[in-house]
Chains A and B, each alone.
Chain A
C-alpha cells in the first residue's frame, strides 16, 4: 500500500464566523497527482494555506510527510515546493535575484531554477515590476519547483499562462511525478485536471464532498447517445426503462438520450433492431462537474421540501476517500 504523504483529519478553519473549510479528511499517497477541484470561494486556497502553515487550523490538523503542518511548518517547507494562488513577487527585484534569494533561503536550487526559467522561456534579467502576469506566474512556478521537492503543492498553477507554457508545465509536473514527487494542486480548469491527475477531490462550500480516481470518474460520466433506426423507432424500444438513461428525445427515426453508467443494456436493446447509425459522445468532465455542483441545488429549489432532508451524496460520486 502506498505511503500517505499528505493527510488531513477533521481540518476546519473559520475566519471569525465565516467558514473556510470544515471537517476536511484528505489523504494523498506517495507519487500521486491529486487535483483539488471547486469553484472560487469553495475553500481550495484555504485548504492549501492550512497545509502550508500559513493559516492556523481552528480545529483538526494535517501532516505532510509525517510533519504537522502548523507546529512543524518549517520542516514541511523544507520538503514542499509551494506555488501560492495569485503569487506576488518583489517588484523591485529581477527574476534572477528572486531565484538567488529563494535558493539562499533553501540552501539549494539555484542551478535548477535557472534551468527551469530557461525551459519556461522566462527573461530573468528584468525587474518583476516590468513583468506581465504570465511572466510573474512563470517565475513563481520556478521558485516553487527549483529545490526539486518531494512534495509539490500548487494553487491554480496555470492561471495566466499561455497554452504553450501550460503544456510545458504539465510536462514538468509529469517528469516530477515520474521522479517520485507527490503533487497536489487546485484548479477549476477541468481539462488540465483530467489530463494530469490520478485522483480528484471536490470541495464545495468548505466541505470535501467527494474524492474519486480519474478512471472511475471517466467511467461514471455521462454519455450523449444518438441512435438512428432504419425506419421509425420500433414500438418495443423502451429507452426510458433502461438504467442510467435520461432526457430521451424522439424525432422521427432518431432518438437522443443521455446515458450514465453501463452502456451494455442499451446496446443489447438496440441490437435487436436495424440501426442506421449509432453515435456516442462523452460528456466532458466539465459537464459532470457542473451537474455535480448544480444538480443538488436545483433539485432542492424545485422540490422545496417541507422538511429539509439531510444532505445526500451526489449520485455520481462516492463520499469520502477512495
Chain B
C-alpha cells in the first residue's frame, strides 16, 4: 500500500463520491416520503402485485406480498434495483479511470516514473475504491434508517446493519471484473462498456434463472445469485456464505487485474 497514492486517490474522488451519496440520499428521501401513502393503499397494491409474474417477485425476493413491509418496499424500490445500478455505475466509472483512463490521459506514465510498484498503485487505488463503496453503502443504510424512521416506517436496524457487508461485497465483486477490463483494454470506454455488459448479463441471468432450472445453475456463476438483500433485511443475519463468495469474485478480479497490469505496456 502506498499512502501517498491512496491520499491522492481519495482527494481526487471525494467530490464525485459526494455527488453519488447526495443522489442516493435524495432518492431515499423521495421514496420514503412516498412510503406512508404506499402503505395506506397497500390493499390495492397487493392486488396489483398478485398479478405480477411470480418470477419477478422471486427475483426481488418478495415472498409475502400482502405485507406492506418497509423491507419489501425498500428492496423493490432501492436495494434490489436502483441501488445496484447506482453502485455499478459508480464502481465502473472509478475502475475505468484507475488503469485505462489514467493510461489514456498520460498520467499513469507520470505516476509510474516515480519509484512505486505497479501492484501497489492498484492496491492503493483499490483501497480508495473500497472506501468509496463503503461510504455509499453506509449512506444507503443510514439514509434508509433515518428517513424511514422520520416517516414512521417500521425500520429493521439489524437488517440494514447486516445489509452493509453484503452491499459492500457486491460493489467489490463488480469492481473486481471491472478493474480487470480496465487492465485488459486500452480504451476506457470499451472497458466501461465491457463491465456494464457483464453486469447486465449477470442481472438478466439472475432474472431468467427464476424461470429456468438450467439457467438457475448457471446463475451460480453470476454475482447477483449471491446478492439477496430482502432476506438479509428481514432476518438481520449477515449472509456469510454470500459475502465470502462475492469476496472471492472480487479477489479473482483484482488478482487478475494486477497480474495483467504488472506486464502491461504503458504507451
* Chain A residues at the B interface, C-beta cutoff of 8 Å: 15, 49, 52-56, 74-75, 77-78, 82, 84, 86-90, 92, 101-102, 104-106, 140, 143-144
8 interchain pairs, CB-CB under 8 A: A15-B265, A52-B112, A54-B109, A55-B265, A55-B266, A86-B106, A105-B114, A140-B110
Given known A101-B4, A105-B4, contact A84–B105 (CB-CB < 8 A)? no
With most chain A CB atoms within 10 A of its CB, the pick from B109, B113, B114, B115 is: B113
Q: A55-B265, A87-B106, A88-B109 are in contact. Are A101 and B115 (CB under 8 A)?
A: no
* B contact residues, range: 20 to 34
**Does A84 lie within 8 Å of B110, measured CB to CB?**
yes
Minimum CB–CB distance from B210 to chain A (whole Å) comes to 45
Q: What B residues does A101 contact at CB under 8 A?
A: 4, 8
Quick check: B105 and A88 within 8 Å, CB to CB?
A: yes
Q: Within 8 Å of chain A (Cβ to Cβ): is B107? A: yes
B109 touches A84 (CB 8 A): yes
Q: Which residue of A lies closest to B8 (CB)?
A: A101
Query: Which residues in B have their C-beta under 8 angstroms from that of A106?
Result: 114-115
One digit per residue, 1 when the CB lies within 8 angstroms of any chain A CB and 0 when it does not, for chain B 47-83 equals: 0000000000000000000000000000000000000
Q: How far is the CA of A143 from the CA of B112 in the complex (A)?
A: 13
Contacts of B110 in A (CB 8 A): 84, 87-90, 140, 143
- For residue A77, which residues in chain B have a CB less than 8 angstroms away from its CB? 112-116
Which residue of the partner chain B has the closest CB to A53?
Answer: B112
Please name the residue on chain A nearest to B15 by beta carbon.
Answer: A92
| Contact A84-B117, Cβ < 8 Å, known A55-B267, A56-B265, A104-B4 | no
Contacting residue for A102 out of B109, B112, B114, B266, CB 8 A: B114
Q: B265 to A88, Cβ gap below 8 A? A: no
Are A84 and B106 within 8 A (Cβ)? Answer: yes
| Cβ contacts under 8 Å, A104 to chain B | 4
Q: Check B115–A74 contact: CB distance below 8 A.
A: yes
Q: Is B263 an interface residue (CB 8 A)?
A: yes
CB distance from B82 to the nearest CB of A (A): 30
Please provide the chain B residues from 111 to 152 with a CB less than 8 Å away from any CB of chain A in the complex: 111-117
Nearest first, the 7 A-B pairs at minimum CB distance are A88-B106, A105-B114, A54-B266, A77-B115, A82-B113, A78-B115, A104-B4
Q: Are B263 and A56 in contact (CB under 8 A)?
A: yes
> A153: nearest residue on chain B (CB-CB)?
B113
